[in-house]
Amino acid sequence: MVMVTEIEEFYEIRTKARAYLCFLLQRYIPNYVPEPSLDNIIHALKILKKEIPQAEAFYVLDRKGNQIIDAISSNPQYRKGKGINRSMRAYYYRAVREKRCILTDPYPSILSNELTVTASYPIYNDKKQLVYIVCIDISLKNLLKMFHPSSIDSYFGQFSKVMYGFFTLALLLVAMLLFAKGIMSVMVHGIKFHNLDIKEIFESTILITLSLAIYDLVKTLFEEEVLGHHRRKEANDIHKTMIRFLGSIVIALSIEALMLVFKFAIIGPEKILYAVYLIGAVTLLLFGLSYYLKSMANVREED
């Protein structure tokens, strides 16, 4: 589950990550020069190692895909690979085919056994003949820490998940208490069927309706903020949750307004204006919900 979420977050920041990495490569390694110098490229990679400390390895391929230097890395275990043919790797054939700096999809790294992405930058001479391909390997986790500050792998992201977990637990407890209170009230008054109190039934309905609305909110928060499922869900699902929540609130307020009308009509007609105010507020809320629905419909049509 965590790995799926990481991949989904990668596709959100892919454009930004590619732009930054390719900018650095183009900044330090000139292209389309008469005779691209391997020594100059190695010197530039050593500078980039300081610029991008999150990267695992820097290396160079020739035009046939053979690695011509051992990888430059802060980890001694990664300083190898010279002589290996990598022409079957996406970071080679995509860079050759597209003739530009590219960023690969995540793939399992042979060096670290973790999901890794590679930025590869083709180097041409002044005759536009391919000479080298410069590569930078960065683990998916480190890339997300660089470009996705709220990702599940960042410290703040982990803290947010824990806090949302506590909030959803507290809200779930509130929903359960409201539901239990509503059910108990229905059962108690159901026993006294001949002396049924309509006011109590209305109150039980309100409690159960509110518990349903809060539970729906808890479910959405937990799935989106704790489990991270919102990346895979359609935007319509979030809008449906909002509509269900607001609908539950409207129903609860409408029942309360109806109950107040009956109550004030019997014991205090002079206070019935307060019930009218509540009905007016419910009406405004309905108008707001209708406008929200119409706006979402227009957005979907534009998309």
Average pLDDT over residues 284-294: 82
Residue 114 has pLDDT above 70, yes or no: yes
Helix axes 140-147, 2-28, angle to 10 degrees: 70
**Distance, CA of 199 to CA of 207 (rounded, Å):** 12
Confidence (pLDDT) at 189: 62
| Claim to verify: residue 294 and residue 169 sit in the same structural domain | yes
**Highest mean pLDDT (candidates 71-75, 245-249, 260-264):** 71-75
pLDDT at 23 over 60: yes
- Among 3-17, 161-175, 285-299, which stretch is predicted with the lowest mean pLDDT? 285-299
Q: How far is CA 137 from CA 63, 104, 118, 190, in A?
A: 19, 10, 5, 69
Shared domain for 262 and 192, answered yes or no, is yes
- What's the domain range around 221? 162-302
| Residue 127 belongs to a domain | yes
Higher pLDDT, 193 or 253: 253
**Cα–Cα dist 221/239, whole Å:** 13
In this structure, the answer to whether residues 17 and 117 fall within a common structural domain is yes
Domain assignment of residue 157, yes or no: no
In a domain, 154, yes or no: no
Amino acid at 153: D
- Give strand pairing partners of 62: 132
Query: Residue 153: inside a domain, yes or no?
Result: no
**Residues 128 and 166 occupy one common structural domain:** no
Nearest alpha carbon to residue 86 among 21, 26, 130, 134: 134
Q: How many domains does the chain have?
A: 2
Judgement on whether residues 167 and 116 belong to the same structural domain of the protein: no
- CATH number, domain containing residue 69: 3.30.450.20
Q: In terms of Cα–Cα distance, which of 6, 117, 99, 9 is closest to 54?
A: 117
- Residue 155 domain-assigned? no
- Residue 141 counted as domain residue: yes
Assess whether 132 and 74 both reside in one domain: yes
Most confident of the following: 13-27, 144-158, 165-179, 220-234: 13-27
DSSP string, 40-97: HHHHHHHHHHHH-TT--EEEEEETTSBB-SPPB-SSGGG---TT-B-TTSHHHHHHHH
State whether residue 18 is helix, strand or coil.
Answer: helix
Per-residue pLDDT, averaged over 13-25, amounts to: 94
Of 117, 147, 177, which residue sits at a domain end? 147
Q: Are both 204 and 112 inside the same structural domain?
A: no
| 284 and 174 co-located in one domain | yes
Concatenated DSSP letters for 250-274? HHHHHHHHHHHHHHHHHH-GGGHHH
Mean pLDDT of 10-33: 93
pTM of the model: 0.56
Asked if residue 114 and residue 15 are part of one domain, the reply reads: yes
Which of 113, 147, 181 is the last residue before a domain boundary? 147
Mean pLDDT of all residues belonging to the chain: 82
Residue 190 has pLDDT above 60, yes or no: no
Under the banding of pLDDT at 50, 70 and 90, the label for residue 301 is low
Same domain assignment for residues 115 and 56:
yes
Residues 93 and 191 in one domain: no
Q: Assess whether 29 and 126 both reside in one domain.
A: yes
